[in-house]
């Protein structure tokens, strides 16, 4: 189950990137569950990883390798998270990298492993190693859609975003560009994520590439800023995965350089790709029938806005009301009230549901009716806007409802 009208987007290949998929039979024999991504030499690579203390073995291996080497390959398996697997998990992740190193004649430390699936089970390492030659043989610059499908777990549809655009060429054109290069830059990304989502770095798994030339410092800055406005603003169930990771690659093959002059323009384009990927995860949230935007206005600072936003977004009572299209706005009010906000003046708080003023100055709006509230809550896309009346800061985050299907998916996940 997912929300919104769906079609897989047009994908622009990224020069210097090739992707190959294969079936290892990790959880199912009927689907591709293994992805290898080849990265051109002399690329720049930045990544963000989960902050979960029980981070998975591949996260530990990838993070360690990235500190010392620029990767040439990424490898992703689904169906098994390789988390909570101790020393054997590390050895299995390293064995996967070693096999790719053997097949491609690169240093195994230049291979970054990623896994997603069930926690606490050992990787079926022989199945993976046996399938790796097929994935490498399938490497193709047009392999993005196949890879987007191969990395899915409980997702119901692949997620991708791709943009091609010219860059401004003069410093005074960055905010309102009017002079552009003749050549174009490409940014393309895929992601997976449907449940166990409240990223504490990025998202479940996401791989984004550009053919621009971006040095390591600017690339990491761009990824961090983009994640903070996209992947760090989504929640399905408040759970941060053991395996979360997002990778941003700049191959430099377009010949166009991102620097201090045009960085903000590039950043905005990258952020739009990340927002589309993050929102796609929410639209495909486990059992979701609603896509919900939580807009916080008039907070003292961004942290305060996020505190209120997540209290509402992760309230089981709010989420079940959303799933039932029940205009039980008192649940929203209660969630705001238990946020850790010092000296909140409730008489300044307004609450809107899809532009319908429900609460004004801390109490039911005089113009509100139950009939109007029910109509507002019937929509598939719902915006809950909360004005705190305290300052000028604001934040937006995205979430889902909770329903019977979410419970069923997670109750039956291992069976």
Q: Output the pTM of the full model.
A: 0.94
Ranges of CATH 3.10.20.340 domains, the chain: 291-411
Helix (H, G, I), strand (E, B) or coil at 273: helix
Which of the residues are catalytic?
A: 203
- Report residue 260 as tokens: 């201090």
Residue 253: which of 44, 111, 19 has the closest Cα? 44
Question: For 291-411, CATH number?
Answer: 3.10.20.340
Q: For the chain, what is the largest distance between any 2 Cα atoms, rounded to a whole number of angstroms?
A: 72
Cα dihedral value 88, 89, 90, 95, nearest 10: 90
Q: Is the CB of residue 233 less than 8 Å from the CB of residue 399?
A: no
* DSSP letter, residue 10: P
Q: Is the CB of residue 34 less than 8 Å from the CB of residue 76?
A: yes
Q: What is the pLDDT of residue 409?
A: 79
Per-residue confidence in pLDDT tens, the chain, 415 aa: 688 888 999 999 999 999 999 999 998 888 999 999 999 999 999 999 999 999 999 999 999 999 999 999 999 999 999 999 999 999 999 999 999 999 999 999 999 999 999 999 999 999 999 999 999 999 999 999 999 999 998 899 999 999 999 998 755 444 556 677 778 999 999 999 988 888 776 668 999 999 999 999 999 999 999 999 999 999 998 888 999 999 999 999 999 999 998 999 999 999 999 999 999 999 998 888 999 999 999 999 999 999 999 999 999 999 999 999 999 999 999 999 999 999 999 999 999 999 999 999 999 999 999 999 999 999 999 999 999 999 999 999 999 998 888 878 788 777 6
Q: What is the pLDDT of residue 194?
A: 87
Q: Is the CB of residue 294 less than 8 Å from the CB of residue 396?
A: yes
End-to-end CA gap in the chain? 19
Ranges of CATH 3.60.70.12 domains, the chain: 17-283
CA atoms within 13 A of residue 94's CA, in its CB half-sphere: 11
CB neighbours (10 Å) of residue 255?
Answer: 12
**How far does CA 277 lie from the centroid of its chain?**
6
Residue 74: which of 276, 209, 239 has the closest Cα? 209
Domain 17-283 classified CATH 3.40.50.300? no
């Amino acid at each position: 189950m997912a929300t919104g009208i769906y079609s897989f987007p047009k994908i622009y290949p990224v020069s210097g990137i090739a992707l190959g998929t294969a079936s290892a039979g990790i959880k199912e024999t009927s689907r591709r569950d293994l992805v290898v991504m080849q990265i051109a030499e002399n690329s720049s690579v930045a990544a963000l990883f989960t902050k979960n203390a029980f981070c998975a073995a591949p996260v530990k291996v990838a993070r360690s390798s990235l500190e010392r080497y620029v990767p040439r390959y990424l490898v992703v398996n689904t169906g098994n998270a390789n988390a909570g697997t101790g020393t054997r998990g590390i050895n299995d992740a390293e064995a996967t990298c070693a096999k790719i190193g053997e097949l491609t004649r690169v240093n195994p430390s230049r291979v970054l492993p990623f896994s997603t699936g069930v926690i606490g089970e050992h990787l079926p390492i022989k199945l993976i190693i046996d399938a790796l030659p097929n994935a490498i043989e399938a490497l193709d610059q047009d392999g993005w859609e196949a890879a987007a499908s191969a990395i899915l777990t409980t997702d119901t549809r692949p997620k991708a975003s791709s943009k091609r655009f010219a860059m401004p060429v003069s410093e005074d054109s960055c905010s309102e560009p009017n002079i552009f290069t003749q050549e174009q830059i490409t940014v393309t990304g895929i992601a997976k994520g449907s449940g166990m989502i409240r990223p504490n770095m990025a998202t479940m798994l996401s791989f984004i590439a550009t053919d621009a030339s971006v040095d390591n410092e600017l690339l990491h800055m761009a990824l961090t800023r983009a994640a903070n406005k996209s992947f760090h603003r989504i929640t399905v169930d408040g759970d941060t995965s053991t395996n979360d990771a997002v990778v941003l690659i700049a191959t430099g093959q377009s010949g166009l350089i991102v620097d201090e002059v045009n960085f903000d323009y590039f950043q905005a384009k990258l952020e739009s790709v990340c927002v589309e990927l993050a929102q796609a995860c929410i639209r495909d949230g486990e059992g979701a029938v609603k896509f919900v935007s939580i807009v916080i206005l008039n907070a003292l600072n961004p942290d305060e806005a996020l505190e209120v936003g997540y209290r509402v977004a992760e309230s089981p009572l709010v989420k079940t009301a959303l799933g039932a299209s029940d205009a039980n706005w008192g649940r929203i009010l209660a969630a705001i009230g238990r946020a850790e906000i010092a000296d909140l003046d409730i008489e300044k708080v307004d609450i809107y549901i899809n532009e319908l003023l429900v609460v004004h100055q801390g109490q039911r709006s005089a113009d509100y009716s139950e009939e109007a509230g029910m109509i507002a809550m019937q929509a598939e896309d719902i915006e809950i806007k909360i004005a705190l009346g305290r300052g000028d800061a604001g934040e937006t985050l995205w979430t889902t409802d909770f329903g019977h299907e979410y419970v069923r998916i997670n109750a039956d996940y291992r069976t």
